[in-house]
Structure 1
Amino acid sequence: MLKRLTLLWALLRGDARQLWFALRHPKAPAWLKLGTALLVLYVLSPIDLVPDVLPVVGLVDDLVLVPLAIRWMLKRLPPDIQSAARR
């Protein structure tokens, strides 16, 4: 579990920071907070789309789905929140 979180953090460092700042923005939409909560639950959950017991494939789903979900949420933010989160 810790290995998976460390690997994800290394991969997502910049996007995760932007998401964190966007979440703390006073005008952050409710869907962003809900989507982030669901994404965190997915990462921490022992239930995956592809089980982690499969050697390489088990981690690859997290390394693909999580970054895609974060980028998808960041791209749908209002422009003022996007620019504030990038700074």
Structure 2
Amino acid sequence: MIEKIKTWAKQLKRKVFVLYFAYKDDRTPWFVKAFAICVVAYAFSPIDLIPDFIPIVGYLDDVILIPLGVALALKMIPDTVIRDCTVKAENRLQNGKPKNWLAGSIIIVVWIAVFFWISSVIYRHF
């Protein structure tokens, strides 16, 4: 079972890299690029929308949101682009995963805003 999970995770990582190169490809439609950028930015972000330390729910984004986003984006990309980008992705996997600090920063800002909003609600009630 653990081997199956490891294999699934490696395949997902490859698919994220395919998206990474596909959104840069001129043959990819603009609306697919926009969606793929969001999926790749979130997948490469060092910070999750739902922190992993929250029991069960913390891993939902890693197990559900990212694979769902990747699958939807890949269905919208032309097959020729996917084939070309798969080759590029295999080469890039040799060098490791890039980090997307912009997406991480946006998620931090969202959490700070939520914190201040909750604080203001609590402050008004007491």
TM-score normalised to the size of structure 1?
A: 0.61
Q: Give the drift of 1:46.
A: 7.0
Distance, in Å, in 1 between the alignment partners of 2:11 and 2:56 is 16
Q: 1:27 aligns to what?
A: 27
Report 1:1-87 matches (<5 A): 12-39=12-39, 40=41, 54-87=54-87
Contact 1:43 1:62 in 2 (8 A): no
Q: Give the drift of 1:17.
A: 1.2
Distance, in Å, in 2 between the alignment partners of 1:47 and 1:62 is 10
Q: Give the drift of 1:75.
A: 2.0
Bigger radius of gyration among the two: 2
* Structure 2, unpaired ranges of 5+: 1-8, 88-126
Distance, in Å, in 2 between the alignment partners of 1:72 and 1:34 is 12
* Structure 1, unpaired ranges of 5+: 1-8
Give the number of the structure with larger relative contact order, counting CA–CA contacts within 8 Å between residues 6 or more apart. Answer: 1
